[in-house]
Amino acid sequence: MNIEVLAALQTAKGTAKTDTMAKLSATDYGVLPSVDKKVSEALGSGRWVRDGFVSKISVAGDVPVELTMDQLEILLAGAGFEGKVTGTDYVMTSGASIDKYLTIGVNDLDSDMFEYSKDCQISSLALNVQLEAFIKGTANIIGMDHITENTKFSGTATAVRDESLICLGSKITEKTNDITSQIESLDLTIDNKLEGKGALNSVYYKSIKQSDRGSVTLGLTFNEFNKASYMDAQDLLLANGEFKVETEFAELQDPTKKVVFEFPKCKISKNERTDLAGAGGMSKELEAFYDETIKSPVKITFKNYTSVL
C-alpha cells in the first residue's frame, strides 16, 4: 500500500495538530482502535443473548521507525523528554512529568483517506541496534481518540530532514573503555509504564497515567566471550557497583552530527555466558538509574543539531 505515517507535537491536550505533520520512516503502523463489547447476562431471551453494546475502544499500538536525529527528537518529546539549546547542541533529559501529547496517523494515498489518533503519549521507546541494519526505534503509543477522515491528509507533510542512523555509526563506551568492536547488538528501552484510564461517559480513554516508576535498561550482546569483561561484570554485580555507560549514533556523511546517550549511574542486572555449545559468547543487561546531577537516568545530546520542535 502507498501510505505515509505522520506525527506532530500538539500545542495542548484535546487539540489535534493536523495542519503540519512530520513524515516518519515507519516500517509498520499499529496505532489502531481495538473494540471491546459487553453483552447482557439477563435471563428471559431463550438461548440468545438479549443485548450488548460497545464498552471500550482502546487506541494503542506500536510504530517501528528507522531513526533519524529529527525523528528521534519527536519520539522523545512524546515520551516525556524536554530539550534545551546548548551552543550548537540540543540536550534532552526526562521532564518532571509527561505533559506533552502527539497526534499520529496514517495517510492512505491509495484509498484517499486519513486516519489519526490524538492526545497520544509514548509508553515505551525501544531502540534496537544490530549488525547490517538501520537503527530502529519502536514507540509503544497510547492515545485518547481516533478519527477517520474520508479524504487524504490535506495539511503539509514535512519530509525527513536528517540522514538515517545505521549500525556503522555506533560507538559504545563502558566506563572509559570503547567496547564497540565487541558488540553484535544493543537494545535500549525507555519504559514510562503508562496506562490509559477510562470514564463512565466515554468508550475512549480520558486520561493517561503512569502506573509505576519508569525504567531505563540496556542489553548488550557480545560477539565473543571476553573473560576480563565477564569477571569485571560479576564483581560489579555482586558489589552492587555502578558505572557510566555512553552510546553514540553518528551520521556517516557527517560524523559531527550524532546523538549521544549518557547513562551516569548504571548497574549490572544480568551477566551471562551464551552459545556454550558453539563459538561462545556473552550478554549483559544493565539498568540506568536516576542521577541527581542531571535529574534523569539518561542525558541525550544531539550534536551539531537544530531542533525541529
Q: How many CB atoms lie within 10 A of CB 119?
A: 23
Q: What's the rounded Cα separation, in Å, for the pair 206 and 204?
A: 6
Identify whether 44 is part of a domain. no
DSSP-derived secondary structure for 228-275: HHHHHHHHHHHHT-EEEEEEEEE-SS-TTSEEEEEEEEEEEEEEEEE-
Q: What's the rounded Cα separation, in Å, for the pair 223 and 131?
A: 11
Question: The domain containing residue 152 runs over which residues?
Answer: 3-33+58-195+206-303
Identify whether 259 is part of a domain. yes
What is the total count of domains within the chain?
A: 1
Cell 482502535 locates to: 33
pLDDT tens by residue, 182-222: 999 999 999 999 999 999 999 999 999 999 999 999 999 99
Identify whether 48 is part of a domain. no
Identify whether 272 is part of a domain. yes
Cell 514507540 locates to: 139
Q: What percent of the chain has pLDDT over 70?
A: 100
Q: What percent of the chain has pLDDT over 90?
A: 98
User: What pLDDT is recorded for position 306?
Assistant: 96
- In 3D, which of 217, 7, 21, 194 has the Cα closest to residue 98? 194
- In 3D, which of 120, 146, 125 has the Cα closest to residue 208? 120
Is residue 81 predicted with pLDDT exceeding 90? yes
Identify whether 99 is part of a domain. yes
User: What pLDDT is recorded for position 183?
Assistant: 97
Identify whether 298 is part of a domain. yes
With 0.75 as the threshold, say if the pTM is over it: yes
pLDDT tens by residue, 19-56: 999 999 999 999 999 999 999 999 999 999 999 999 99
User: What pLDDT is recorded for position 1?
Assistant: 87
Identify whether 296 is part of a domain. yes
Q: Work out the burial of residue 106: count CB atoms within 10 Å of its CB; fewer than 13 is exposed, 13-18 middle, 19 or more buried.
A: buried
List the Cα angle 32/151/5 in 5-degree steps.
Answer: 45
pLDDT tens by residue, 157-193: 999 888 999 999 999 999 999 999 999 999 999 999 9
Identify whether 39 is part of a domain. no
pLDDT tens by residue, 228-279: 999 999 999 999 999 999 999 999 899 999 999 999 999 999 999 999 999 9
Is residue 115 predicted with pLDDT exceeding 90? yes
Q: What's the rounded Cα separation, in Å, for the pair 65 and 68?
A: 9
pLDDT tens by residue, 93-113: 999 999 999 999 999 999 999
User: What pLDDT is recorded for position 41?
Assistant: 94
